[in-house]
Structure 1
Amino acid sequence: MKLLDRIRNLDASRRVDVVSKYIPVLLVEHTCNLMDTQTKTMIGHIHTDLIETLRDRLEENLPHNSKSVFRLPKPAFIEETTTLTRIRNRYFGLVVDKSPTQPLADARTAALERFTNLLLDCKVISNLHSDRYPITDPTIAGHGEILATVNRNAAPYLGVTSIGVHLLCYVKTNDTVSLWLAQRAANKSHHALLWDPTVAGGQPASMGLFDNVIKEAGEEAGIPSELVARNAVATGCLSQMTCKPDGTCMKQSLYYTWDMQVPNDFVPEAADGEVAQFELCSAEQLEYDVREGTRLRPAMILVVTDFLIRHGIIAPDKEPDYANILAAMHQEQLVFEYADKGEGCM
């Protein structure tokens, strides 16, 4: 398989079988004016199989309260399609009940907490994460203001954008470059024992991107904060629509990257149990890993390919798909629209 195909295969939005299973997720806010209107705010999308799981649980345990917590679409909402249409005539609504003195962001967050608790109750997720992800409106350029926050473990089930930061520590000797890779610990819930760049971490809502790089570098690799602050160089942002192998948890994944050249005697140390070991890999090994290998966490094929392009290992004269690879590494977010005809919910 060509490198271009490997990268394109990371993009779930190219798969009709995946896209056709999703409908939009909206925050439905009750307003207290004389017209008794409602405000709907798009925040993401949800897999229709998950809706049926939630429906069964709500109908079993919350027959009288479900409508005050969630708006569930009617069961017959799958539209037969052979194209990647973005328009749906159903949506999944999270009801926002706000008291007169409560900040709107807090009321929205409370609605998302109810959703998270339902995922726990249905055993869709097994535990809560210590980090929270920001919720924004994907229909607004740049995503606009933060509307609320949601637990990191629940966020993928709402199609919330996932942001990761990556620090790539490399050694350069004459015309050769090598990169420190980190093997994920055996107890990681996802992609255990596969390999990441030197430092990789999710981005919480509570801190800046570079501050998170510094924090993760110290926690995962034992790298002093002053070394990162002084030497790390921002190198860009990659974007993909990723999902699990079964098509669930489709979301936009943004990977912000930093390079940091380190001396020959630099050795990262596994500090917090997230990493099993580190390995210094040659450019030849890295190129094999992105083109043919199976060691890298799938999404990290994207990040390591970008590193190899940046350092001239994968170059236009040697890679006939060079321009298409660059385009494929910056995939537009798929945002579903909905036709509001009063049919969205039960």
Structure 2
Amino acid sequence: MSFLDKIRACNAWNPADFVPLWLDGARVGWMRRSACDLLRRWPEQFQVEPEGVTWSGAPPTFDARTAVLDTLCAQLIADGVVSHLHSERYPLTASSREQAVCLLDRACAPFFGARAFGQHLNGYVRTAHGIEMWIGRRAADRRHYPLHLDNLVAGGLPHGLSLIDNLRKECAEEAGIPRALADQAVAVGAITYCREAAAGLKPDVMYCYDLELPAAFVPVCTDGEVESFQRLPLAEVAALVRETDDFKLNCNLTIIDFLIRHGFITPDEPDYLELLAGLRIPLP
């Protein structure tokens, strides 16, 4: 395996299997062809054609559109198409969070191929022997990737919360990082990827942060989502990413980006340019 393999795994999908979801002339999602027929039960709302789906009957207001999707998502749950509601609201948007046309439950976003946003933070310590990273192990009861390794802090970015407020919340919940320390996190860019999942398509944006931590700091999970933490030398973290499937899939990208920015992966890496491009692909 290689670093590039991990990037390719996060960008595995066949565009021929999906069609666009249109609203007011803007593409707000990508739906699996086999899922489109499920929308035919709402003919007053959706026009389903071979080349795409148009939300032709969408109400004119933000709240009314959200209510329509709430009803639709409840039916998808009842039918077993979507396994559960996440109870976090995500924006339905053709571009940025700020240009949302309505909201939908986070768990239903892949069904519509809606763009999703999250935040991932690399926590690290500088030692006499080099950089060491704090790595979390996800709890055994997590619905996705139980017991896999994870970034120190990572979470979705629900509608209505600013980047800084959500980062503070996630830092406190997942690693016991106090607000004053969380506010020292440095925004280092964003990673984009698009992959097919069982639930549909995930065209995702991850806002990335670095946080240099005091040597004496020890993270403590307060929300039960992380089983344990360990502080590992950067070379060991890199080997885990490159040679194993121990990490939650998208966390590999956040760490590869860190390894590049901190000089561990250099231009001498044969796949260097492909790695750079692969971390920030244009989203469909």
Counterpart for residue 343 of structure 1: none
Q: Contact (CA 8 Å) 1:69, 1:114: kept in 2 or not? A: no
Aligned-pair distance for 1:143?
A: 7.3
The amino acid of 1:194's aligned partner reads H
Task: State how far apart, in whole Å, the 2-side matches of 1:277 and 1:67 are.
Answer: 49
Q: Name the CA shift for 1:311/1:145 in 2 (closer, same or farther; >3 Å).
A: same
Counterpart for residue 27 of structure 2: 42
Task: State how far apart, in whole Å, the 2-side matches of 1:105 and 1:115 are.
Answer: 16
The amino acid of 1:324's aligned partner reads E
Counterpart for residue 62 of structure 1: none
Counterpart for residue 273 of structure 1: 224
Q: Contact (CA 8 Å) 1:135, 1:146: kept in 2 or not? A: yes
The amino acid of 1:130's aligned partner reads S
Counterpart for residue 189 of structure 2: 236
Aligned-pair distance for 1:48?
A: 1.7
Aligned-pair distance for 1:272?
A: 0.5
Aligned-pair distance for 1:180?
A: 0.6
Task: State how far apart, in whole Å, the 2-side matches of 1:90 and 1:206 are.
Answer: 30
Counterpart for residue 25 of structure 1: 21
Runs of at least 4 residues of structure 1 off by over 4 A?
Answer: none
Task: State how far apart, in whole Å, the 1-side matches of 2:56 and 2:230 are.
Answer: 45
Counterpart for residue 6 of structure 2: 6
Q: Contact (CA 8 Å) 1:54, 1:122: kept in 2 or not? A: no
Task: State how far apart, in whole Å, the 2-side matches of 1:320 and 1:45 are.
Answer: 33
Tell me which of 215, 220, 245 is aligned to 2:169: 215
Counterpart for residue 177 of structure 1: 131
Q: Name the CA shift for 1:48/1:259 in 2 (closer, same or farther; >3 Å).
A: same
The amino acid of 2:223's aligned partner reads D
Tell me which of 306, 313, 333 is aligned to 2:283: 333
Aligned-pair distance for 1:209?
A: 1.1
Aligned-residue CA RMSD (Å)? 2.0
Q: Contact (CA 8 Å) 1:232, 1:259: kept in 2 or not? A: yes
Q: Contact (CA 8 Å) 1:185, 1:193: kept in 2 or not? A: yes
Q: TM-score, normalised by structure 2?
A: 0.92
TM-superposition CA deviations, 1:196-229 (whole Å, max 9, x none): 1100000001111121111100011111111111
Report the 3-state secondary structure (helix = DSSP H, G, I; strand = E; otherwise coil) of the residue aligned with 2:55: strand
Q: Contact (CA 8 Å) 2:21, 2:52: kept in 1 or not? A: no
1:314 aligns with 2:268: no
Task: State how far apart, in whole Å, the 2-side matches of 1:290 and 1:331 are.
Answer: 20
Aligned-pair distance for 1:292?
A: 0.9
TM-superposition CA deviations, 1:26-75 (whole Å, max 9, x none): 23xxxxxxxxxxx55431111122234555xx4xxxxxxx32244344xx
The number of aligned residues is: 284
Q: Contact (CA 8 Å) 1:26, 1:41: kept in 2 or not? A: yes
Aligned-pair distance for 1:144?
A: 6.5
Aligned-pair distance for 1:173?
A: 1.1
Report the 3-state secondary structure (helix = DSSP H, G, I; strand = E; otherwise coil) of the residue aligned with 2:200: coil
Counterpart for residue 86 of structure 1: none
Report the 3-state secondary structure (helix = DSSP H, G, I; strand = E; otherwise coil) of the residue aligned with 1:68: coil
The amino acid of 1:241's aligned partner reads C
Counterpart for residue 80 of structure 1: none
Counterpart for residue 292 of structure 1: 243
Q: Name the CA shift for 1:326/1:175 in 2 (closer, same or farther; >3 Å).
A: farther
Counterpart for residue 263 of structure 1: 214
The amino acid of 1:7's aligned partner reads I
The amino acid of 2:122's aligned partner reads L
The amino acid of 2:55's aligned partner reads G
Q: TM-score, normalised by structure 1?
A: 0.77
Counterpart for residue 75 of structure 2: 118
Pair member with larger Rg: 1
Aligned-pair distance for 1:8?
A: 2.2
Report the 3-state secondary structure (helix = DSSP H, G, I; strand = E; otherwise coil) of the residue aligned with 2:203: strand
Counterpart for residue 147 of structure 2: 193
The amino acid of 1:197's aligned partner reads N
Tell me which of 58, 62, 70 is aligned to 1:96: 58
Unaligned runs of 5+ in 1: 28-38, 59-65, 78-88, 99-103, 335-346
Q: Contact (CA 8 Å) 1:165, 1:201: kept in 2 or not? A: yes
Q: Name the CA shift for 1:224/1:164 in 2 (closer, same or farther; >3 Å).
A: same
Aligned-pair distance for 1:125?
A: 2.1
Q: Contact (CA 8 Å) 1:23, 1:92: kept in 2 or not? A: no
Aligned-pair distance for 1:189?
A: 1.0
